[in-house]
Amino acid sequence: MTRATLVFNGIDKKIDLESQTNILDAARQMEIGISAVCGGRGLCGKCRIVVRKGAECLGPTIGLERLSLSEDELGEGYRLACCATAARDGTILVEVPPESAIEQQRLQVAGIETIVSPDPMVEKHLVVVSLPQLDDVKSDAESLITALSNQHGIGKVSIGHDALLQLPHAIRDQKNYLMVTLYGEDKIVWIEPGEDLTPLLGLAVDLGTTKIAAYLVDVKEGRTLATASSPNPQIQFGDDIISRISYAREDKKNLKQLQGSVIAVVNKLLQDTCREAGVEARQVFDIVVVGNTAMHHLFLGINPEFLAMSPFSPAVRSEVVTGSKDIGLTANPTAFVYSFPVIAGFVGGDAVADILATQLHKAESPSLMIDIGTNTEVVLSDGTKLAACSCASGPALEGACIEHGMRAETGAIERIYIDHENLEPGYVTIGGTPPRGICGSGVLDALAFMLKSGIVDKRGRIVRTLGTPRIRSANGIPEYVLAWKEETEIGVDITVTQKDVQAIQLAKAAIFAATAVLMRKLKIKPSDIRRLFLAGAFGTYVDPQSALVLGMYPDIPLNRIRFVGNSAGSGARMALISKKARTEAEQIARDTDYVELAADRAFREEFAKALLLPHTELERFPTIAQILSRKG
């Protein structure tokens, strides 16, 4: 009897495989999460694995695999786990790529971890201060400054007003031991009597148009203690940035209202993360904020009016440092808020943070980063310089403004396949519960399979003549039923409507066109791109093949794609932990060339061509052309 040994690379688990046992079943026995939307029938193509060694111990590839995997992928060792069975003795080394790994995808929501050595803006020092004597009467401040110099080699410091108020009593309590907090090595901001061993904390905040995320960080250890997120309350004033800018322009009090709503959420996230970590908000001495330029202005209370008028110039491009209490944040009253520098009116500090986290500015070969959100930022490196632009992609890819759209949380349909013979769907929900709706990656998956199975044509129109009850019309709008009401938790059918399809088409066309314009500027071909970083919550969950089938980004091998989650949040954390990272961010903002798409005719041309699925010029998508022709 055959006894092959199956080893999962990077997971350090192995199992003996009996003849004819497939890798998906073995992975299930070992509790290794591999996406399997069709339940192992070889139909969805979601259970992709890469065989690194011992391919000869497996049976040959079967026809179903050739429908889902390209020739190149097969050549690189890709197989479908449900179709690859043990056939001969030996050791098989298998890797689960990110798009198939269920658990890994969950973890990546937090964003890529780029290691930086802790070198924070704030630091605490224990100082022993001599009390003044009659024969040597010094001021308390002089005694403290002398002690800091003698004991820690720190000279030339100033003492902030709050610290001065604390000093006289602190110096006389607790046997002259003081814990002194410094900001930027030269300003004493806080003084506590005794040996305060509580960690020194910072808060990194990513202000998204739709969502705000906060990370509480022990800045000395460089460790994230807690994270929390919340919808951006400004949504009530408009889904998109332009509506909010118009609202702010109408009246001064509207600007205050917009600013106040965001500050209130950041304060809530501060309290939530502190509660989760069992610490107090007064221990938070440093705050780093990233966001697109409009969010940056609204957060700081700067009128964003001119961002919406040609030439779309921001009020300030360089970093801004403010006192937290000046803008109403309830951290330690002496905490500073560092707002990331921005690149231009529509490419903000979030893109700078993305670049910092992915290290795109250090790439030696052409690399692309796409941060997908309501506004999508695209940054391209040709290996020597960076160019960036931004396009409005709408909230559809985040599950908003979709008939049954919802955030990527429990009950959201996130993976879909459609049998191209009987047009019946299969799906997987987050948490494995009955479906409540569809998240952005689910809608994209649905549309990719609707295209592959002929339910939508290349113009994105739902074809009503296919003779399945799943395609119907509601109030005159065609739709495809993904889940009947009996299977859902909400008691109504969950559908993908013609309007949903259009919203996704517009979004993907904008993203592709923005990418194509940058590639033209830097003279980069799809085959030149060695690495594509997909960022943002949507970018974490998306099936890269579905996005490619729809023509969202250039046709490049899937193994060059790296999911980096919320890399803007990761960049903000790096700048919280390291002064050097802050300096790098400032350099990135200065050095990145901005490409304005509003004035770019090439963008309009590319956009019009990209509205078709996958694209008007199919020759630009050879891999997709191959997949679509195989599906007939």
Stretch that binds ligand FES, among 42-50, 210-218, 494-502, 551-559 (CB under 6 A): 42-50
Stretch that binds ligand FES, among 37-45, 133-141, 144-152, 361-369 (CB under 6 A): 37-45
User: Per rule CB under 6 A, is residue 295 in the interface with ligand FES?
Assistant: no
**Distances, alpha carbon 59 to alpha carbons 4, 77, 200, 335, 510, in Å:** 12, 13, 57, 62, 43
Write each residue from 395 to 414 as x if it is in contact with ligand FES (CB under 6 A), else as -, in one continuous string. Answer: --------------------
| Interface pick for ligand FES out of 6, 8, 23, 45 (rule CB under 6 A) | 45
**Distances, alpha carbon 586 to alpha carbons 71, 335, 361, 364, 387, in Å:** 44, 21, 12, 20, 16
Count the neighbouring beta carbons within 10 Å of the beta carbon of residue 463. 14
Stretch that binds ligand FES, among 38-46, 275-283, 329-337, 476-484 (CB under 6 A): 38-46
Q: Who contacts 384 (Cβ-Cβ below 8 Å, separation ≥6)?
A: none
Question: Shortest Cβ distance from residue 484 to ligand FES (Å)?
Answer: 21
| Interface pick for ligand FES out of 27, 37, 337, 628 (rule CB under 6 A) | 37
Picking from 198, 185, 192, the residue whose alpha carbon sits closest to that of residue 129 is 192
Stretch that binds ligand FES, among 32-40, 270-278, 400-408, 532-540 (CB under 6 A): 32-40
**Comparison of 329 and 416: residue with beta carbon closer to ligand FES:** 416
User: Per rule CB under 6 A, is residue 44 in the interface with ligand FES?
Assistant: yes
User: Per rule CB under 6 A, is residue 425 in the interface with ligand FES?
Assistant: no
- Read off φ and ψ for residue 392, nearest 5 degrees: -80, 115
Question: Shortest Cβ distance from residue 528 to ligand FES (Å)?
Answer: 32
User: Per rule CB under 6 A, is residue 47 in the interface with ligand FES?
Assistant: yes
User: Per rule CB under 6 A, is residue 82 in the interface with ligand FES?
Assistant: yes
Q: Please give the Cα distance from 297 to 382 (Å, whole number).
A: 31
* Segment (H or E) for 604: helix 601-610
User: Per rule CB under 6 A, is residue 80 in the interface with ligand FES?
Assistant: yes
Instruction: State the DSSP code for 608.
Output: H
| Interface pick for ligand FES out of 6, 23, 43, 96 (rule CB under 6 A) | 43
User: Per rule CB under 6 A, is residue 6 in the interface with ligand FES?
Assistant: no
Tally of residues, the chain: 632
Stretch that binds ligand FES, among 41-49, 106-114, 280-288, 395-403 (CB under 6 A): 41-49
Count the neighbouring beta carbons within 10 Å of the beta carbon of residue 54. 19
Stretch that binds ligand FES, among 45-53, 212-220, 257-265, 544-552 (CB under 6 A): 45-53
Strand order in the sheet with 477-483: 471-474, 477-483, 494-497
Going 245 to 251 to 257 to 263, the CA torsion angle's sign is positive
Where in 556-595 is the site for ligand FES (CB under 6 A)? none
Question: Shortest Cβ distance from residue 22 to ligand FES (Å)?
Answer: 9
**Comparison of 82 and 574: residue with beta carbon closer to ligand FES:** 82
User: Per rule CB under 6 A, is residue 84 in the interface with ligand FES?
Assistant: no
Token digits of residue 484: 């009947």
**Distances, alpha carbon 19 to alpha carbons 58, 59, 79, 81, 89, in Å:** 9, 10, 17, 15, 9
Instruction: Judge whether 413 and 435 are in contact, CB under 8 Å.
Output: yes
**Comparison of 46 and 296: residue with beta carbon closer to ligand FES:** 46
Instruction: Judge whether 42 and 109 are in contact, CB under 8 Å.
Output: no
| Interface pick for ligand FES out of 4, 17, 36, 300 (rule CB under 6 A) | 36
> Can you give the binding site for ligand FES, defined by CB under 6 A?
36-38, 40-47, 80, 82
